[in-house]
Amino acid sequence: MPSDKMLHIPTPDGRSDAFAAFPDGGGRHPGVLMYADGFGIRPVLREMARELAGHGYYVLVPNFFYRQGPAPVIELPEYIGEEARPAVLAQLMPLIVAHTAERTLRDADAYLSFLTTRPEVAAGPVAVTGYCIGGLLATRTAAAHPGQVAALAAFHAPVSADGPGAFADITAQTHFGHAESDLTPEALAELDQALDAAAFDYTSEIYPGTTHGFTMSDTDAFDSVGLKRHWNRLLPLLDRTLAGSR
């Protein structure tokens, strides 16, 4: 079983609490910065980080809402069903709106600096991955650190929110896995046109039959086939790009 711990990351605006999972038994492992969805660090995210750590990675999951307090920043039900969702989102949306691109990039500098100096993390490039709003943060991070981020993966994420120019500086091998309910085929074609113009190595696909949030087993959106497809895309991507860091 992987080991895990809670950590605190110094940032220009304070200290961000974070969850880390990594292989047991010592040694140094490729680093992965994982951004949670808007609901934040909770049991399902810890499980996903541990799952990834079990494949040989050091996984750091920061609380990007740390300015409002430690995770969970709002009280979450054990299962975020349709009845609970509106009230939860009403509390979260102001935090999401306040988390500007400028904040994202200040934090990304701090998170990557912290990750790459951990004694358990191997020298070399890292990966960034994220879910929902976390996928947008991962995309911004990869664009801001092209020499350091070798792999980018985002799932059911508004990756085009910053416009087509946001992809221009990405050099990471990239996978975008979209929920069917989030993106029409026409919107996918438009996104892929922007990705083609940015000229980096990517795959971008709609996961059939999925709705927004399909990777999260504590929500009504969860789709086990979609989650499996996510792992089938993410793990080979990391293996290809971070093998030299093992």
pLDDT tens for each residue of 103-119 = 999 999 999 999 999 99
Q: How many domains does the chain have?
A: 1
The length of the chain is 246
Q: Which residues pair with 17 in a beta bridge?
A: 8
Q: pLDDT averaged over the chain? A: 96
At 14 the three-state DSSP class reads strand
Residue 1 pLDDT class (50, 70, 90 cuts): confident
Range of the domain at 237: 3-245
Check pLDDT > 70 for residue 179. yes
Mean pLDDT of 58-68: 98
Mean pLDDT of 26-38: 97
Structure tokens at 188: 């996918």
Tracing tokens 């880390």 back to the chain, one arrives at: 20
Contact at 8 Å (CB) between 234 and 153?
yes
Global pTM value: 0.97
Check pLDDT > 90 for residue 245. no
Question: Which ranges of 56-206 does DSSP label H, i.e. alpha helix?
Answer: 85-98, 101-116, 133-144, 185-198
Distance CA 63, CA 61 (A): 7
Residue 231's CATH number: 3.40.50.1820
Residue 244 pLDDT class (50, 70, 90 cuts): confident
Residue 26: what pLDDT?
Answer: 87
Q: From residue 151, how far is each of 42, 86, 109, 145, 170 by CA, in Å? A: 24, 34, 17, 11, 10
- State the amino acid at position 231 in one-letter form: W
Share of the chain above pLDDT 70, in %: 100
Mean pLDDT of 15-38: 97
Residue 177: what pLDDT?
Answer: 98
Burial status of residue 228 (CB atoms within 10 A of its CB: 0-12, 13-18, 19 or more) = exposed
Mean pLDDT of 31-53: 98
Structure tokens at 156: 């059911």
Check pLDDT > 80 for residue 84. yes
Structure tokens at 161: 């929110």
Distance CA 121, CA 58 (A): 6
Cβ-based neighbour number of residue 80 at 10 Å: 20
Residue 8 pLDDT class (50, 70, 90 cuts): very high
At 173 the three-state DSSP class reads strand
Residue 243: what pLDDT?
Answer: 83
Distance CA 75, CA 45 (A): 16
Residue 166: what pLDDT?
Answer: 95
Residue 246 pLDDT class (50, 70, 90 cuts): low
